[in-house]
Structure 1
Amino acid sequence: LTPNVGATADAERLDRSEATTLTTIPVLPLSYADARPLLEALGGPLAPLAWRGGLPITYHIGPGPAVVELELAFNWDLAPAYDVIATLEGSERPDQLVIRGNHHDAWVNGARDPISGLVALMAEARAIGELARSGWRPKRTLVFAAWDAEEPGLLGSTEWAELHADRLRAQAVAYINTDGNSRGFLGMSGSHTLERFINEIARDVIDPQTDVSVSERLAARRQVAGNPRFQTNGDLPIGALGSGSDYTPFLQHLGIASLNLGYSGESGGGSYHSIFDSFDHYIRFGDPTFEYGITLAQTTGRVLLRLTDADVLPFEFESFSETVTRYVDEIVTMTDEMREETERTTRLIDDGRYVLAADPTTTYVPPTAQDPVPYLNFAPLRNALTRLEASARAYGDALSPDAVAKLSVADQRALDQILIRTERVLTREEGLPGRPWFTHQIYAPGFYTGYGVKTIPGVREAIEQRDWPLATTQIALAADTLALFAAEVDRATGILTGSR
């Protein structure tokens, strides 16, 4: 109820009737035992195949004939959320912040989600605290955060980020997030400007079960699964972030480069967000030897130390350029396939083929013909990608240990500020269509799908919703955003080459 403002005790709040993000239809997860009598009471036409579940009943879509009386009870009382923040001030660049976070609240017991990730954060903090007691200080300021109220909607991290938004926009270098953790393979998603950096980390961390690097083990898994794609430079591609954990306000609202890291894939399932997510379950199935908790701390600990102590921040742009080009290719292909499918469906409707193919003894409504898909002008995006590719390559060519060593301290600081700003320029103040809080133009959770990421969301979702004028507008805005990004990369190259 305090959009863009931290929810302190005295913050001005919207009336609930003014809050556009609160659902107006009651939503409640049900067990199958509770859902079954409701589904069995429905009459009317048979449900389409895609709507049918796995219960041994005949699925209908209603209406009625049964009537269900719902008694709704809500608790709208204000309650405090407790974020725990610890700061180790940097010795040389205290105005540059590296933030490490994991939430501490849980639906029930929370052994895996979130405690398995939180204990890794605590181990990192303890180890770095020992270094500090010995006299060491990071060059940049390190902030550890244990967030409250993640499960009700990322509240602790979001309100903290909104409360400190001005400082974070000016000073935050990166946000590193973890959540649940267990046996298995390294999962790495986030800003693609950090893709090469996290690949370097992954090559240095040893998998406790196989004694090879976690990078090599992950590569083997992808190859066996038939997904052997590598970036041009040989790195493993990282995933893009949607929502579902505390990186959301940092990346998608404030434009702070972010990573979400964790191990998983060999511990089974079934305990998520339930009473079965217990210590007993975790030591039997999750990570019985706690080796992957140690491995996660080794992974994220390396990330923190290298980010805080690097002479120049380890951002890189060729992976980003290659990835965004792939996103645009996906959107163009999606549009072409929509056009072909629309034309095919229209022909079948006009020829009466759907009616002839249906079972005449059941109720059937054929699909409605849709407007043709126009040929959108993707040239602005293609042109922006061409410039971005050239800018990214030039920065990669200019970046070397010798080039960094020749920079004065003032030039290193100036270069850092540009590198920090690169993620910021991927945001737009007006935000995405229909949701101004989400400002990032490359990554966002789906408007209708929630957790899952939509890449270049303004363009992609306008096309999915068949809003062709909006798609044209969003193509131009995305192209402008990439051009601004390329200009920042060019400025960074100018400092490295002395040609600014």
Structure 2
Amino acid sequence: MSSNSSLHLGSENDMFFSSSKRGIGKIRLFIFLLIAIVIGFIVGILVGKFAINDEQQNNEVVVSEEFQHILSDADPSISQQIIDAIDPARIEANLRYLSQIPHIAGRQADFDLVEMLKSRFIDNGLQVQITPYDVLLSYPSNETPNSVRLLDANGTVVYDAKHDESNISQYQDVVPPFNAYSPCRLVEGPLVYAGYGRVEDYIWLKQNNITVTGNIVIVKYGRIFRGDKVDLAAINGAIGIIIYSDPADFTGNFMGDSRVYPETWWMPPSGAQRGTIYIPNGDPLSPGYPANDYGYRFTEESAVPPLPKIPCHPIGYGAALNILKHLGGTAVPTPSDLSGGLNITYRTGPAFLETGMKIQLNVTTKNERAKVENVFGIIKGFVEPDRYVLFGNHRDAWIYGAIDPSSGTAVMMEVARVMGDLVKRGVWRPRRTIVFCSWGAEEYGLVGSTEWVEQYVSTLRERAVAYINVDLAIEGNDTLQALATPLMYNIIHDASKKVKNPNPAEIQAGRPTVYDTWLHFKPWNFTQGDKTVVPLINTPGSGSDYAPLLQQAGITTVDFRYSLDTKLYKMSSYPLYHTEYETFDLVKEQYDKDFEFHAAVARVGGEAIRVLADSLIIPFNVSNYAPGLELCRQSLDRDYGTLLRDNLGSETYDKLSKVIVGFREDVQEFETRQNNIDRKDPYALRELNDKIMLLEKAFLHPEGLPVRPLKKHVIFAENQHDTYAGTSFPGLLDLLFEIEKEPERWETVKQHFHVILTIIQTAGITLRDATSFMSETL
């Protein structure tokens, strides 16, 4: 009952309120609605005032004062502060320390430098990381030196080439001349002189009925990478190879200067150039993957690509004279590339003037597993810490390495000091992260940098903005020299305009900056659309650590140094390259007494780093890639245009021009959007910068080049037959080389040509609007 009574009372109350108070309820409802409308109006005004800018502000996104630094552009005063703080005396002190003892890779002296750099980076306020790898290196025997001997018919030694240089320092750890990764083998036989050991030299020998098969060859250093000389000798049937530095290439005889080191920088008769003869990059036993505890390793016998097949040893031109003066056979044309600067008649062999003479080449070099280390100094960016600007140089040297690489290391250390000091004092911190990279075992084939890229390639493809490489700071003191991909052209040009000329004579001649002298020595009509010229920038090959970063991670790159006047000095390298004579005293006395040229390189590099790490918008000139592609197309057309038209058909071949035009149109539309971007919108800025950063990476082909799958960049790579030299459309050039001998290759040429067309199109598409990127035509 209680329950029923309660229900009854409740219903009476409900009825009461619905009848006697209905009028009051309507009034209250009206008042409530009126109050709600007023409140809504007030809230609307507040939202309009504080959340939406008026039309006069063009609907720009409002960012609170707390986060205004996200949208701040670089402080231009930092540029001059960095330039002014670079100290030539500190660079000199760095170089003196770095080059005081030999420090070949994988030995204690190199590990000591790792610890020194770690300590310096920490002192400069940088975060430090070290990455170790377990790789295959190569060293000469301590018990039985490598030897090159001339024997008579009875096997008596007529001449025994010195197995070392002068050992001027008497240091125990001076490594005698050798070529890394040469097979350990003794061979004997007749000798064939093959000029520079290039493809064209072997063609000439064949045309003149000179047999290479079964013989030892002797060739001159220069023109192409030494490893390619060994490979071509083996392909042509040689059982061994000797490489020497000819006086025509490494002395001043051509200009009437008979002096040699230590009087000057020219090569003495005993000088012999060390160096690797392994052509690929990285650890030979773990290609494509990092050489750590988790990777698969080939054996030396099963390695792919293979290790060198025939023994090789370097000698000086003094030793070469004592061998070649006995050689008979056909006299080579004079003057020509086949002849040289020795006071003899250059003859081809294979026979000697004395019947029964032969060469004995005994290489005792051994390969061994060793640890190598990279060391990094890091300045963390305060806005975009996940975007990296890299500045690098290798650390290891065959002996003292005062030029290669320590001049570059000394410069890198000074730039790191200056930038670290600005950060420590609270004057500046870059927008993006700066990473200073000291690579290990570069001399063995870019080992440290390659292993690092193989380990972190996924991260680097997504985050790395650019890589600036200073393999060595100076190899001359005439002009700056650079090689780069097109996105970096304006970066290095603009940086060099800000740096005072280190040469007083050039300033007096009306060329006050580094840029002015560079333009004077190397003018270049890059765009070809007008008469404007800029300083020449060459195509990157594979001569230093920039190669794996570009080829595998697609990181935009530049390598630069102070160099020689190439019109005056016709040399492949500076004369004392990779010899015992490359000392601190050589640099101080012959190249850069006050270290002002080193300082100029540091200032150019420091400014390039700053602008890339600190600019609100990554300052690559995207429009440079279109004329860059057109130059590549013109070069291809000059050399192979007729051949390609005949075999691909004009309609197919002309598509290359069309896709380059289409790429240029995509660039133009992109730059229009870039010029109109809302610089107060952090999301729009991030999208824009990602497009700029990822453009270079769009030119990578996942499967690599047809003949060289570890090379991924379809526009730029080294020449297949000269690792030092850069080429454009390298995959095509690989396939077209002597294609008349293998006409079945044409189907692969057609496939790769269409790969190039697709990748250029794809690169342009990456620049399009985020939601309007698709084409509606075939």
Q: TM-score range with shorter-chain normalisation?
A: 0.7 to 0.9
Give the structure 2 partner of residue 308 of structure 1.
613
Q: Tell me, in whole angstroms, the C-alpha distance in 1 between the residues paired with 2:512 and 2:313.
A: 45
- 8 Å CA contact 1:102, 1:121 repeated in 2: yes
Q: Tell me, in whole angstroms, the C-alpha distance in 2 between the residues paired with 1:53 and 1:184.
A: 26
State the secondary structure of the residue aligned to 2:301: helix
Q: Tell me, in whole angstroms, the C-alpha distance in 2 between the residues paired with 1:17 and 1:57.
A: 41
Give the structure 2 partner of residue 155 of structure 1.
447
Report the Cα offset of residue 68 of structure 1. 3.4
Change (3 A) 1:339 1:61: farther
237-246 or 267-276, larger mean C-alpha shift: 267-276
Q: 1:143 aligned to 2:427? A: no
* Rg larger in structure: 2
Q: 2:350 aligns with which of 62, 73, 88?
A: 62
Give 1 or 2: higher strand fraction: 2
Change (3 A) 1:28 1:70: closer
- What letter corresponds to residue 246 of structure 1 in structure 2? D
Q: Tell me, in whole angstroms, the C-alpha distance in 2 between the residues paired with 1:78 and 1:259.
A: 32
Report the Cα offset of residue 339 of structure 1. 9.5
Q: Tell me, in whole angstroms, the C-alpha distance in 1 between the residues paired with 2:361 and 2:389.
A: 48
Q: Tell me, in whole angstroms, the C-alpha distance in 2 between the residues paired with 1:410 and 1:469.
A: 46
Give the structure 2 partner of residue 391 of structure 1.
666
- 8 Å CA contact 2:411, 2:473 repeated in 1: no
- What letter corresponds to residue 207 of structure 1 in structure 2? N
Spell out, residue by residue over 1:379-411, the C-alpha distance to the aligned partner (whole angstroms, 9 max, x if none). Answer: 2211111101111222334433x63524x1122
Give the structure 2 partner of residue 366 of structure 1.
none
Change (3 A) 1:189 1:404: farther
Change (3 A) 1:61 1:317: farther
- What letter corresponds to residue 411 of structure 2 in structure 1? A
Q: Tell me, in whole angstroms, the C-alpha distance in 2 between the residues paired with 1:493 and 1:221.
A: 47
- 8 Å CA contact 1:253, 1:437 repeated in 2: yes
For structure 2, the residue ranges without an aligned partner over 5 or more in a row are 1-284, 740-744, 774-778
Counterparts of 1:184-263 in structure 2, within 5 Å, are: 184-209=478-503, 210=507, 212-223=512-523, 232=529, 234=532, 235-263=534-562
State the secondary structure of the residue aligned to 2:442: coil
Q: 1:177 aligned to 2:451? A: no
Report the Cα offset of residue 84 of structure 1. 1.5
Q: Tell me, in whole angstroms, the C-alpha distance in 1 between the residues paired with 2:345 and 2:716.
A: 41
Give the structure 2 partner of residue 108 of structure 1.
399
- 8 Å CA contact 1:103, 1:118 repeated in 2: yes
State the secondary structure of the residue aligned to 1:403: coil
Q: Tell me, in whole angstroms, the C-alpha distance in 1 between the residues paired with 2:770 and 2:470.
A: 30
Report the Cα offset of residue 461 of structure 1. 3.1
Q: 2:575 aligns with which of 270, 275, 281?
A: 270
Q: 1:473 aligned to 2:751? A: yes
Q: Tell me, in whole angstroms, the C-alpha distance in 2 between the residues paired with 1:327 and 1:266.
A: 25
254-263 or 2-11, larger mean C-alpha shift: 2-11
Give the structure 2 partner of residue 357 of structure 1.
none
Report the Cα offset of residue 418 of structure 1. 1.9
Give the structure 2 partner of residue 31 of structure 1.
316
State the secondary structure of the residue aligned to 2:628: helix
Change (3 A) 1:429 1:373: closer
State the secondary structure of the residue aligned to 1:11: coil
181-190 or 54-63, larger mean C-alpha shift: 54-63
- 8 Å CA contact 2:522, 2:535 repeated in 1: no
Report the Cα offset of residue 81 of structure 1. 1.3
Give the structure 2 partner of residue 417 of structure 1.
690
State the secondary structure of the residue aligned to 1:79: strand
Q: Tell me, in whole angstroms, the C-alpha distance in 1 between the residues paired with 2:466 and 2:678.
A: 20
Give the structure 1 partner of residue 100 of structure 2.
none
- 8 Å CA contact 2:406, 2:472 repeated in 1: yes
35-44 or 198-207, larger mean C-alpha shift: 35-44
Give the structure 1 partner of residue 706 of structure 2.
433
Report the Cα offset of residue 278 of structure 1. 0.9
Change (3 A) 1:491 1:30: farther
State the secondary structure of the residue aligned to 2:435: strand
Report the Cα offset of residue 61 of structure 1. 4.0
Spell out, residue by residue over 1:401-434, the C-alpha distance to the aligned partner (whole angstroms, 9 max, x if none). Answer: x63524x112211222222211111011111122
Matched residues, percent identical?
27
Q: Tell me, in whole angstroms, the C-alpha distance in 2 between the residues paired with 1:393 and 1:493.
A: 18
Report the Cα offset of residue 481 of structure 1. 1.0
TM-score (norm 1): 0.84
- What letter corresponds to residue 217 of structure 1 in structure 2? T
Q: 1:167 aligned to 2:459? A: yes
Report the Cα offset of residue 231 of structure 1. 5.7
- 8 Å CA contact 1:39, 1:60 repeated in 2: no
TM-score (norm 2): 0.55
Q: Tell me, in whole angstroms, the C-alpha distance in 1 between the residues paired with 2:772 and 2:499.
A: 34
Change (3 A) 1:241 1:170: same
State the secondary structure of the residue aligned to 2:656: helix
State the secondary structure of the residue aligned to 1:2: coil
Q: Tell me, in whole angstroms, the C-alpha distance in 2 between the residues paired with 1:46 and 1:493.
A: 69
- What letter corresponds to residue 260 of structure 1 in structure 2? D
- What letter corresponds to residue 722 of structure 2 in structure 1? T
- 8 Å CA contact 2:714, 2:729 repeated in 1: yes
Report the Cα offset of residue 174 of structure 1. 0.8
State the secondary structure of the residue aligned to 2:296: coil
Report the Cα offset of residue 471 of structure 1. 2.8
Give the structure 2 partner of residue 348 of structure 1.
none
Q: Tell me, in whole angstroms, the C-alpha distance in 1 between the residues paired with 2:512 and 2:306.
A: 46
Give the structure 1 partner of residue 632 of structure 2.
327
Give the structure 2 partner of residue 460 of structure 1.
733
458-467 or 239-248, larger mean C-alpha shift: 458-467
- What letter corresponds to residue 586 of structure 2 in structure 1? H
Change (3 A) 1:311 1:374: closer
Q: Tell me, in whole angstroms, the C-alpha distance in 2 between the residues paired with 1:217 and 1:58.
A: 40
Change (3 A) 1:168 1:69: same
Q: Tell me, in whole angstroms, the C-alpha distance in 1 between the residues paired with 2:465 and 2:298.
A: 32
437-446 or 185-194, larger mean C-alpha shift: 185-194
Change (3 A) 1:213 1:37: closer
Spell out, residue by residue over 1:428-461, the C-alpha distance to the aligned partner (whole angstroms, 9 max, x if none). Answer: 1111122111111111111111110111111233
Spell out, residue by residue over 1:118-141, the C-alpha distance to the aligned partner (whole angstroms, 9 max, x if none). Answer: 111111100111111122322111
- 8 Å CA contact 1:418, 1:491 repeated in 2: no
- 8 Å CA contact 1:394, 1:493 repeated in 2: no
Change (3 A) 1:252 1:121: same
Change (3 A) 1:238 1:232: farther
Give the structure 1 partner of residue 717 of structure 2.
444
Counterparts of 1:8-87 in structure 2, within 5 Å, are: 8=292, 11-19=295-303, 20-36=305-321, 38-39=323-324, 51-55=338-342, 56-62=344-350, 66-87=357-378
